[in-house]
Amino acid sequence: MSGPKTFNGWVCEGKGESLEWKEMPLRAEDDYSVDMDVTHCGICGSDVHTLESNWGPANYPCVVGHEIAGVATRVGKKVTNVKVGDRIGVGAQSGSCHECDPCKSGWENLCKGTTRTGTYNSFWPNGDKSFGGYADRWRGDSRFVFKIPDNMTNEIACTFFCAGVTSYGPLKRHNVNKDSVVGIMGIGGLGHYGILWAKAMGAHVIALSHNDKKKEVAKELGADAYVSTSSEEDLKSIKGKLTHILCTGASDDFAWKTFIPLFKPNGTFINVSLPSWNFPEVPPMMLSLSQVNICGSAIGSPAEIEDMLKFAAEHNVLPWIQKYPMKEAPKALEDFNKNLPRFRFVLEN
From 175, 227, 228, select the one nearest 197 (Cα to Cα): 175
- DSSP secondary structure string, 96-128? --S-SHHHHTT-GGG--STT-EESSSEE-TTSP
Q: Which does 187 bind (CB under 5 to 8 A by kind): ligand NAP, Zn ion, none?
A: ligand NAP
Strand spans (E) along 43-92: 68-75, 87-90
Q: By the 8 A CB rule, do 59 and 174 touch?
A: no
Minimum separation from the CB atom of position 140 to Zn ion (A): 15
- Identity at 232, one-letter amino acid code: E
282 contacts which partner out of ligand NAP, Zn ion, none, CB within 5 to 8 A by kind? Answer: none
Contact partner, 243, from ligand NAP, Zn ion, none, Cβ < 5-8 Å per class: none
Site string for ligand NAP, 55-94 (x = CB under 6 A): ----------------------------------------
> Any contact of residue 274 with ligand NAP (CB under 6 A)?
yes
In the sheet that holds 225-228, the strands lie side by side as 225-228, 204-209, 181-185, 242-247, 263-271, 293-296
Please state the closest distance from residue 32 (CB atom) to ligand NAP, in A: 24
Decide if residue 312 touches ligand NAP (CB under 6 A).
no
Q: Which is nearer to Zn ion, 250 or 260 (CB)?
A: 250
Q: Kindly state whether residue 187 participates in binding ligand NAP, applying the rule CB under 6 A.
A: yes
Site for ligand NAP in 321-340 (CB under 6 A): 339
Cβ distance to ligand NAP smaller for residue 52 or 128: 52
Question: In degrees to the nearest 10, what's the CA dihedral of 135, 139, 145, 147?
Answer: 70
Phi/psi for 335 (5° steps) reads -70, -35
Whole-angstrom distance, CA of residue 249 vs CA of residue 246: 9
H helical segments located in 242-328: 256-259, 284-290, 302-315
Q: Residue 111, interface with Zn ion (CB under 5 A)?
A: yes
Judged by beta carbon distances under 5 to 8 A according to partner kind, the member of Zn ion, ligand NAP, none in contact with residue 113 is: Zn ion
Nearest distance from residue 52's CB to ligand NAP, in Å?
11
The answer to whether residues 68 and 38 touch, using CB atoms and an 8 Å cutoff, is: yes
Least distance in angstroms from the C-beta of 173 to Zn ion: 18
Under 8 Å between Cβ of 190 and 251: no
Taking CB within 5 to 8 Å according to partner kind, which of ligand NAP, Zn ion, none is near residue 250? Answer: ligand NAP
Residue 133, Cβ density class (10 Å: 0-12 exposed, 13-18 middle, ≥19 buried): buried
Residue 5 neighbours by CB distance under 10 Å = 10
Q: Which 275-294 residues touch ligand NAP, going by CB under 6 A?
A: 275
Q: Which of 168, 214, 269, 324 binds ligand NAP (CB under 6 A)?
A: 214
Pick one of 209, 243, 268, 290: the residue that binds ligand NAP (CB under 6 A): 209
SS3 48: helix
Shortest Å distance, C-beta 178 to ligand NAP: 25
**Does residue 72 belong to the site contacting Zn ion (CB under 5 A)?**
no
Helical ranges in 95-214 per DSSP H: 101-104, 154-157, 163-173, 189-200
Only one of the segments 97-105, 128-136, 188-196, 312-320 lies at the binding site for ligand NAP (rule: CB under 6 A); that segment is 188-196
- With CB under 5 to 8 Å by kind, the binding choice for 170 among Zn ion, ligand NAP, none is none
Select from 33, 46, 119, 297 the one that contacts Zn ion (CB under 5 A). 46
Which of the 8 DSSP states describes residue 302? H
The residues that touch Zn ion, with contacts defined as CB under 5 A, are: 44, 46, 92, 96-97, 100, 103, 111, 113, 162
The residues that touch ligand NAP, with contacts defined as CB under 6 A, are: 44-46, 49, 162-163, 166, 186-191, 209-210, 214, 248-251, 272-275, 297-299, 339, 341
